[in-house]
Amino acid sequence: MTKVLVIGAKGQLGQSFQYWAPHFPHFEFFFKDLPEFNLLDQAQLERYFKTTPTDIVINCAAYTAVDQAEDEPKMAQQLNAVAVDSLCQLSKIFGFKLIHFSTDYVFDGSAHSPYGEDDTLSPLGVYGKTKAEGEAVILAAGIDGWIIRTSWLFSPYGKNFVKTIFSLLQNKDEINVVADQTGSPTYAIDLAAATLKVLEQKPVFDGVKVYHYTNSGHTTWYGLALAIQQQINTPCQIRVVDTANYPTKAKRPKYSVLGCEKIKKEFNLNPQVWESALKDCLKKIG
């Protein structure tokens, strides 16, 4: 039986893997998170892998607070790059394959068509820069694994845009939402399912491959907020604002749609449109 360790088990993606675990009986899952599994404690990690045989490590742990990262660059780098380097070194010693998740924010958003896996990285803020650094660490490490970039993650778990807007729409008379940033919303439950379906196909791991995975279609944050409102039918008014009139600490890419043809073709995946995924998510939240 394939032994799969999921790190960052309490986050929204980690919880999405937990949601699917009973449906994949060929895998034996181990779910770990702080405090008993600290990615910054090398000795603790070594003890774990010495005593627990592991075939695949799925790393869902990351520093994802985009604006806060501008104030805490060292902490963001520790989690998004230094911890990843530790996992790479342990992969060499203990022979496990590493699956690591990255982000559309490694791109600057100046494109007008979907980004490919091989497009040049040019992140705008600390979060994107540290995620790009983590990718570089894996690519240089000489291990077997995957980097899966995704975007605009939402789910019934943790903190995310969909849950925040869902709550605000029911408690406010009006809200402001940015309408000039475009991306593909991704349902964490779909991303977890796709990852496990691909692993079930027993793929050949040979070096590091980069993939993109999002739900189909794209929209703006305003379009996503509007779609939530249509589902739950509240009188709250959603006002359109431009990024320039809604300043944040971190700069965000204007256009960060990821092209997903590579993973779809290689593993015969057909991601559902984001609108359908949103409906499912809102049912689970509501």
Q: pLDDT tens string for the chain (286 positions)?
A: 999 999 999 999 999 999 999 999 999 999 999 988 999 999 999 999 999 999 999 999 999 999 999 999 999 999 999 999 999 999 999 999 999 999 999 999 999 999 999 999 999 999 999 999 999 999 999 999 999 999 999 999 999 999 999 999 999 999 999 999 999 999 999 999 999 999 999 989 999 999 999 999 999 999 999 999 999 989 999 999 999 988 899 999 999 999 999 999 999 999 999 999 999 999 999 8
pTM of the model: 0.97
16-28: string of b/e by CB count within 10 Å (b at 16+)? bbbbbbeebeebe
Measured CA distances, 11 to 8, 62, 126, 153, 160 (Å)? 6, 9, 20, 11, 11
Whole-number pLDDT of residue 247: 85
Identify whether the C-beta of residue 23 lies closer than 8 Å to the C-beta of residue 189.
no
Whole-number pLDDT of residue 273: 98
Q: What are the DSSP E strand ranges found in the chain?
A: 2-7, 27-32, 56-59, 97-103, 145-150, 153-154, 174-178, 182-183, 186-187, 208-212, 219-220, 237-241
The class that CATH gives domain 2-159+184-215+257-272 is alpha beta
From the list 48, 115, 127, 213, the catalytic residue is 127
Identify whether the C-beta of residue 78 lies closer than 8 Å to the C-beta of residue 93.
no
Can you give the C-alpha Rg of the chain in angstroms? 19
Identify whether the C-beta of residue 139 lies closer than 8 Å to the C-beta of residue 208.
yes
Whole-number pLDDT of residue 285: 94
**Bridge partners for 177 per DSSP:** 240
- The SS3 of residue 196 is helix
Domain definitions of the chain by residue range: 2-159+184-215+257-272
Decide if 127 is catalytic. Answer: yes
Whole-number pLDDT of residue 123: 97
